Structure 1
Amino acid sequence: MVQFSIREYRPSDQHVVMSLFKDGIFEHVYPAFFKAMSHPDHIGVALSISMAGYVLGGSSYFQALLFGSAWAGLIYYCCHDIYEGYMMRRQSADMADIQASYLENPDNGFWVAETDINGQSKVVGMVAVTGKSSELAQDAGDGSYGEMCHMVVAFSWRRKNLGSQLTRKALDFCKERGFGRLILDVSSPQTAAISLFEKAGFVQTSSHRNTHANRWFSNLARINQNINVKYKLEVVCEADV
């Protein structure tokens, strides 16, 4: 069994944390692209465009392939733009100064996971929680709640229970702060993450396509937010289980 140590973020972790953050965002581009291209609508469009290229090119298979590839390239660009836009927004917001954004606010937290590699500690995962105040009782319940973000586990260290340990750290923090629940946003291509959170007791409460990207890009990429599906966990935060 691999042993992990989860501790609070330190300024010296900035370089590796930012690397994990970028890798964790961009790794969703290809799954999003393949998921979008497998949709019947996109398959139909790609075939129609390829057929048009074939006819316009005088029965040219090359032209058919070129036209179909152009459509696939557009879908890939939409997927990439959505995730890149998200990354850049966070880099200019909370990730620009993790110390001020998380550690200097008692209702926020940012942790990294370390493991020993050849006698040296290496950061291989991270997670953050931001405390929120309920604005609408019917939407968020009484009191405050936590929002989990930046959950990333380095690729070679997955399937070793680290994701569950980081989730538990976030839940324990919420209980300590007296939060009524923990929510998070996760994109629809993140099937492994969704499975992990469902096993932890999260339930889906909403789905939308508000990616803050161009509306047409969101529609073409067909990324739900399922890009943000909202999950909540009320029981674990309110009582020990």
Structure 2
Amino acid sequence: MAQKSNAQFSIREYRPSDQLVVTSLFRDGILEHVYPAFFKALSHPDHVGVALSISVAGYVLGGSSYFQALLFGGAWAGLLYYCCHEICEGYMARRLSTDMADIQAHYLDNPDNGFWVAEADVGGQTKVVGMAAVTGKRAEEEGARFDDRNGGVAGGGAEPDQDAGGDGSHGEVSHVVVAFPHRRSAVGSQLMQKCLDFCKERGHARLVLEVSSPQTAAIALCQKVGFVQTASHGNTHANRWFSKLGRVNVLRMEKFI
């Protein structure tokens, strides 16, 4: 369990000198979800049934061999782990080759986008311990993106890109990561508040984010600051069979400002 940190922290805009530490923080934040996703998939009733069936088959084919039963069951578990790892690895590689490849150009040079880091005094040194980003979206971009999802189901009866009394533009938050020792110390909440304040200044009526189902801590943080789930889909941008076997869903959450 994450320990509470008594370190004082502050939030500031990203600087080019933060590139290496931000990239490392992002990598660690994504890959830490491999094991939770794996254990969640492994414990699913359907997968438990498959594992038992495969183990029994191995036992019979091996001439009542317990080793063969364990080998077959282990192979199934290994396949599930591989699927979960590929989902996280694929997402990380995609973002590192697009917006994260040039944070200055994608976020800071665009007035509708923003990228911030949280700093804390660690052992007498100021270190980056968290980050968050916002991308401004127009209504037409949101509509096209939502239609392209596999199995996307919108919550409520309204179109996802229509805000009451607005033009449908909104902010999309991403890359909310807090270093493990500094969790449960309000760093995540303050980063989210910074994103909300930024969107309010830009005239957006709502803030949107997508989070994968294994990210239980992130989901709890979003709910704590007032986000509600409005949609879910299975498009993880990985091979669709990886997503199915990994039992990973993507939850769309929104908060009106």
User: Scaled by the length of structure 1, what TM-score is found?
Assistant: 0.94
- Which segments of 5 or more consecutive residues in structure 1 lack a partner in the other structure? none
Question: Would you say 1:24 and 2:45 are equivalent positions?
Answer: no
Between the two proteins, the alignment pairs up a number of residues equal to: 232
AA paired with 2:255? Answer: L
AA paired with 2:159? Answer: Q
Partner Cα separation in structure 2 for residue 80 and residue 131 of structure 1:
30
Q: What secondary structure, in the 3-state scheme, does the structure 1 residue paired with 2:237 have?
A: coil
Kindly state the Cα deviation for residue 139 of structure 1 after the two structures are TM-superposed. Answer: 2.1
Kindly state the Cα deviation for residue 213 of structure 1 after the two structures are TM-superposed. Answer: 1.1
- Higher RCO (Cα < 8 Å, 6 or more apart): 2
Q: What secondary structure, in the 3-state scheme, does the structure 1 residue paired with 2:204 have?
A: coil
Aligned residue in 1 for 2:249: 224
Aligned pair partner of 1:138 in 159, 180, 190? 159
Question: Would you say 1:60 and 2:81 are equivalent positions?
Answer: no
- Alignment map for 1:194-233 (pairs within 5 Å): 194-225=219-250, 229-233=251-255
- Alignment map for 1:114-133 (pairs within 5 Å): 114-133=119-138
AA paired with 1:44? Answer: G
AA paired with 2:36? Answer: P
Give RMSD over aligned pairs: 1.0
Aligned residue in 1 for 2:50: 45
Kindly state the Cα deviation for residue 34 of structure 1 after the two structures are TM-superposed. Answer: 0.3
Aligned residue in 2 for 1:12: 17
Q: What secondary structure, in the 3-state scheme, does the structure 2 residue paired with 1:201 have?
A: coil
User: Scaled by the length of structure 2, what TM-score is found?
Assistant: 0.88
Kindly state the Cα deviation for residue 192 of structure 1 after the two structures are TM-superposed. Answer: 1.1
Kindly state the Cα deviation for residue 39 of structure 1 after the two structures are TM-superposed. Answer: 0.4
Q: What secondary structure, in the 3-state scheme, does the structure 1 residue paired with 2:233 have?
A: coil
Give CA deviations for 1:46-83 in whole Å, capped at 9, x if unaligned.
00000000011111110000000000000000000011
**Which has the higher mean CA deviation after the structures are superposed, 47-56 or 110-119?**
110-119
Q: State whether residues 7 and 122 of structure 2, in contact with CA within 8 Å, keep that contact through their aligned partners in structure 1.
A: no
Partner Cα separation in structure 2 for residue 182 and residue 92 of structure 1:
24
Aligned residue in 2 for 1:164: 189
Q: What secondary structure, in the 3-state scheme, does the structure 1 residue paired with 2:171 have?
A: strand
Aligned residue in 1 for 2:151: none
Aligned pair partner of 2:200 in 175, 188, 191? 175
Partner Cα separation in structure 2 for residue 218 and residue 117 of structure 1:
38
Kindly state the Cα deviation for residue 117 of structure 1 after the two structures are TM-superposed. Answer: 1.8
Percent identity between matched residues is 72
Aligned residue in 2 for 1:2: 7
- Which segments of 5 or more consecutive residues in structure 2 lack a partner in the other structure? 1-5, 144-157
Aligned residue in 1 for 2:146: none
AA paired with 1:232? Answer: E
Kindly state the Cα deviation for residue 33 of structure 1 after the two structures are TM-superposed. Answer: 0.3
Aligned residue in 1 for 2:81: 76
